[in-house]
A and B are shown apart, each in its own frame.
Chain A
Amino acid sequence: MKLKQLEASISQLIQFQNPKIELEQYSTGAHIASRMLYMANSSYNDIGGKVVVDLGCGCGTLGVAASLLSADHVIGIDIDAEALDVARVNSEEFEGTIDFIQGNVADCKLKGWKVDTVVMNPPFGTRKKGADMMFLSSACQVLKLFPVGQQSSLSKIKLLYEKDSKIGRSFVSSCNSVHISIMLLRLYQTLSTHREGKFATIVWQLLGLTFYYDAMQTCVQYLSTEIICTYC
């Protein structure tokens, strides 16, 4: 499927009707969702023929995109029944076969080594402190990047997330299939909500991004072009 086609399909999905602020329900736009998944597929071969999990799937945008890009099995997990109802309709609309689960990402562990890729646009933790870290940690647990329950795992992710460090780097190299859109979307979010001081934020975050996510470079470059067009 071509990127244009993917974006056009994604833009037709129904989104949150009554977004629940406390769950940070905002959907990923068709533009960014299609690019993120397209790149994950074409540059990293992480979608087509794979088992993909969409954590906090909301109305299913990322999962449907994965399904359109020929993932063989897609699972979408969300805590909210209303969002899942929409997601189910969206998935049926595209004749996708996505399995949805209503569950809290915090305690919905998936057994075995069956999942190849996690995609997510998690809450940023603006409503519930630590929600972002919880999603990241859950993504790692789904992918079995560390032994379950290991204390150090969370601090490793924190390092990866927050600062330059050797541990952070080696962690990144072992987790290229966590398409942590979180960084991109966090950036996106920051831009759309804090118009002031945006430039400094962008530069800083972009540096962080390119440093941590070589893998995401294309997307980052793309985004930065868009950002510059939109805001500068």
Chain B
Amino acid sequence: MRLLTHNMLSCNIKGVTNGFPLAIEATTVETKEVDMNPDFLRHIFPKLEWKAFRDASHSLGVDDLPEQVDPDMLLDEEFLRRFHHALLEVHLEEGVLICPETGRRFPVSKGIPNMLLNEDEV
């Protein structure tokens, strides 16, 4: 699972009002290179929750994203490269996603988070 996906996932247990963002406990992280598409990065940038994304990148050992961002940065090649890397090349392979409100743990195995809820959670 990559961080763009993480940026969309939340804990949807019944009654939870603030299930986003899920905290990450990473055991195994892998990097797989993919071609960079600057147009795509510009398309997705305004839709991202930047703080959640940056915090998540820290949990995966990526520390070179700025705290404050503005759209002008999308003209900077170096920024795009870092952004691309953190968003689309770093994979959480093994670990746990944790609901910020309830502490419910969702295991991630072979890159696939298990978001299935128990009967008493829906």
Residue ranges of A at the interface with B (Cβ–Cβ < 8 Å): 49, 51, 72-73, 75, 79, 81, 84-85, 88, 97, 99-104, 106-115
Contacts and interface: CB of A to CB of B under 8 A. Distances in A.
Contacts of A115: 8
A11 to B, nearest CB: 25
A46 to B, nearest CB: 13
Contacts of B110: 85, 88
B122 A107 contact: yes
Contact of A111 (B1, B8, B32): B8
Nearest to B113: A101
5 tightest A-B CB contacts, nearest first = A103-B115, A110-B8, A99-B5, A72-B40, A102-B114
A96 to B, nearest CB: 10
Interface centre among B1, B5, B115 (most CB of A within 10 A): B5
A79 to B, nearest CB: 7
A98 to B, nearest CB: 10
B8 A104 contact: no
Nearest to A142: B8
A75 B73 CA distance: 27
Contact of B39 (A49, A75, A79): A49
A99 B12 contact: no
Nearest to B34: A97
Given A49-B37, A72-B37, A99-B2, 6 more contacts: A73-B4, A101-B1, A107-B12, A107-B117, A112-B49, A114-B48
Given A88-B111, A107-B122, A97 B8 contact: no
Contacts of A51: 4, 44
A111 B88 contact: no
B47 A112 contact: yes
Contact of B8 (A72, A84, A107, A114): A114
Contacts of B49: 111-112
Nearest to A110: B8
A111 B20 contact: yes
Contacts of A112: 7-8, 47-49
Interface string B44-63: 10011100000000000000
A97 B88 contact: yes
A75 B4 CA distance: 10
B37 A110 contact: no
B117 to A, nearest CB: 6
Nearest to A106: B122
A72 B44 CA distance: 10
Contact of A88 (B8, B20, B48, B112): B112
Given A49-B39, A51-B4, A103-B116, A97 B32 contact: yes
Nearest to B12: A107
Given A110-B9, A111-B20, A114-B8, A102 B112 contact: yes
Interface string B8-48: 11101000000010000000000010100101100110011
Interface centre among A75, A88, A103, A106 (most CB of B within 10 A): A103
